[in-house]
Amino acid sequence: MRSESQPALALPPAFVDEATAARWLRRAVTLPAYLLLAILIVAALPVLLPMAVVFDLVRRSNFATARAGAMLIAYLLCEAAGIIAAGALQLVAALLGFADDRRLALHYRLQHYWAGALFGAARRLYALRLALSGDEDGDGGPLLVFIRHASLADTLLPSQVVARRHGYRLRYVLKRELLYDACLDLVGNRLPNVFVRRASGDSAKEIDAIRRLATDLGRHEGVLIYPEGTRFSASKRERALARIAATQPARLAAARGLQHLLPPHLGGPLALLDAAPRADVLFVAHTGLESAATLGDLWRGAMIGRTVRVHLRRVPRSTIPTTRAERAAWLDAEWAKLDAVIDAGLRTED
């Protein structure tokens, strides 16, 4: 028996650190689950695919069920490949003693390949067309990227239309729930990203983490944030208007004028503007992915044959106000412009 004077047994840091323990507990579930699901669904493909085709023929759904099933397979295979590649990359980097910047570059490349494979699969399976405008605005100097959030699929757009196309290393502000995507958990945590708790009760801590993300941006680096904080829906719009009416009544008129966007949260975007005084702001509007807001939308085939219109508009830093109140009004005005671009794109689609 240990006496009172003997020191307690010191545990390894990994067991003391609650966040590290939670991370590895999560991965102990998600990593084998994704790999097992990928194996099972590929093994069942000879049975499931003919059943889906017959079901689609009966309901005359333009093979929506078969497309959704194929997209699920593509997602699971990308997950499995990403998990294996992330593990191999970490092992090789450790064995060969890669410098930090080389590790970072390889992980960015893996992220781009993963997102590109998923987006490419969606384009082929759903016969999507991509129409890009304002592309010349996506190049040159550090960036803060403010993008609309309307769909499960729009998280893949920035990697394709900004990062890969213009050679940017983007840092992401993402919701913490996405860590249950095993590949995103592994690679995303090795890159300079922030996974925020949206209802943590400590917004100052989350905003401070976002601010730190933008403190050292290089010429071809940027931070991406979804200022709405969640995907648009009519019910979420009503809740957002009620919140603004209660806490920020001066913004209510601007918020009510938005048709397709939720009013932007101010904390994250304004913190980024403070932390990156040389960065321009790139606004990204897109339409055509609203029909993929839920898994049910994909199952019904609402996205088949859509044109995904993406418009980039860069705002020079020299034109952005300097005080917090002026920046809040500026962001509301810019968000109204983005809403108008989206409205025009939806009318074109119709």
d(CA 21, CA 41): 30
Q: How far is CA 3 from CA 7, 8, 9, 282, in A?
A: 9, 10, 12, 64
Residue range 223-251: mean pLDDT, rounded: 95
Residue range 87-103: mean pLDDT, rounded: 94
Count the domains in the chain: 1
d(CA 189, CA 325): 34
- Give pLDDT tens digits for 293-338: 888 888 888 889 999 999 999 999 999 999 999 999 999 999 999 9
When comparing pLDDT for 58 and 201, which is higher? 58
Residue range 217-223: mean pLDDT, rounded: 93
Give me the residue label for tokens 């994909």. 298
Q: Does any domain span residue 133?
A: yes
DSSP string, 315-329: E-GGGS-SSHHHHHH
| Residues 6 or more apart whose Cβ sits within 8 Å of residue 125 | 67, 70, 71, 74
Indicate whether 5 pLDDT > 70: no
Helix axes 64-96, 18-43, angle to 10 degrees: 130
d(CA 282, CA 225): 11
The encoded tokens of residue 248 equal 């920020």
| Residues 6 or more apart whose Cβ sits within 8 Å of residue 161 | 132, 135, 138, 284, 310, 312
Q: Does any domain span residue 9?
A: no
Indicate whether 227 pLDDT > 80: yes
Indicate whether 9 pLDDT > 50: no
Neighbouring-strand partners of residue 307: 129
pLDDT value at residue 350: 59
pLDDT value at residue 2: 36
Q: In terms of Cα–Cα distance, which of 186, 195, 190 is closest to 226?
A: 195
Q: Does any domain span residue 196?
A: yes
Residue type, 220: H
- 141: DSSP letter: S
Q: Does any domain span residue 180?
A: yes
Q: Does any domain span residue 7?
A: no
Torsion over CA of 271, 116, 125 and 301, rounded to 10 degrees?
Answer: -10
Q: Which domain holds residue 236?
A: 15-349
Q: Does any domain span residue 134?
A: yes
- Give pLDDT tens digits for 124-166: 999 999 999 998 776 778 999 999 999 888 889 999 899 988 8
d(CA 283, CA 335): 9
Residue range 75-92: mean pLDDT, rounded: 95
Residue range 264-281: mean pLDDT, rounded: 96
Q: How far is CA 337 from CA 55, 95, 113, 183, in A?
A: 44, 51, 32, 35
Phi, then psi, of 312 in degrees rounded to 5: -105, 135
Phi, then psi, of 326 in degrees rounded to 5: -65, -40
**Do 309 and 287 form a contact (C-beta atoms < 8 A)?**
yes
**∠ CA(344), CA(347), CA(255), 5° rounding?**
55
Indicate whether 7 pLDDT > 90: no
pLDDT value at residue 200: 66
Residue range 217-240: mean pLDDT, rounded: 94
Res. 201 pLDDT band, cuts 50 70 90:
low
Alpha carbon distance, N-terminus to C-terminus of the chain: 78
DSSP string, 72-123: HHHHHHHHHHHHHHHHHHHHHHHHHT--HHHHHHHHHHHHHHHHHHHHHHHH
Q: Name the average pLDDT for the chain.
A: 90
